[in-house]
Amino acid sequence: MAAPAYPAWVTRWVSGQWRNKKRPPALRPPRTLGAAAATCITEMSVMMACWKQNDFNDTPCAEEIRMFYDCVAKAEKERKNQNEDTLSSKGNLPSSKVNKLLKRFPQITRYA
């Protein structure tokens, strides 16, 4: 018997599609822009302008440097607070987290 013709479901079953691993994810990540990125640019540009005037010395620019450090510390804290499992700005969880949750509690349709 050359090239045995199996029905389509046999090849799918053998390839493992009906086992949980090869199911496509429930949600695709939405293509939003990388907004709220690149914080503290104004502070940085102010500091660099001050550097240009004072030949890159730190002592006359101490005020700008302090403001830059404060801005960086604030941005760091905000990022830490943001990385929790609560709702994001739109009211939806990020899709990767939704996928993980749905995989943990799957919808069982067949009770064999």
Partner 1 sequence: RIMPVRWSRYNPNYLEPEVKKESYQKPLEELTEEEREQMELKAVRPIKAAPPSLSSSVFSDPMISKFTNMMMKSGNKVLARSLMSQTLEAIKRKQLEKYHKAPENEKETIECNPYVIFHQALKNCQPIIGLSNITKGGKTYQVPVPLTDNRKRFLAMKWLITECRENKHRRTLMPEKLCQELLLAFNNEGPIIKKKHVLHKMAEANRAYAHFRWW
Binding site for partner 1 (CB under 8 A): 34, 37-38, 40-41, 44-45, 47-48, 51-52, 56-59, 65, 68, 72, 79
Q: How far is the CB of 108 from partner 1 (least distance, A)?
A: 35
Q: For residues 2 and 37, which CB has a smaller minimum distance to partner 1 in the complex? A: 37
Distance, in Å, from the CA atom of 49 to the CA atom of 90, rounded to the nearest integer, reads 38
CA atoms within 13 A on the CB side of 60: 10
Nearest distance, CB of residue 66 and partner 1, angstroms:
11
In the complex with partner 1, which residue's Cβ is closer, 17 or 48? 48
Contact between residue 16 and residue 40 where contact means Cβ atoms under 8 Å apart: no
Instruction: Output the CA torsion sign for 61, 66, 72, 74.
Output: negative
State in angstroms the smallest separation of the CB of 33 from partner 1.
11
If the CB atoms of residues 13 and 56 are measured against partner 1, the closer one turns out to be 56
Assess contact for 61 and 54: CB atoms under 8 A.
yes
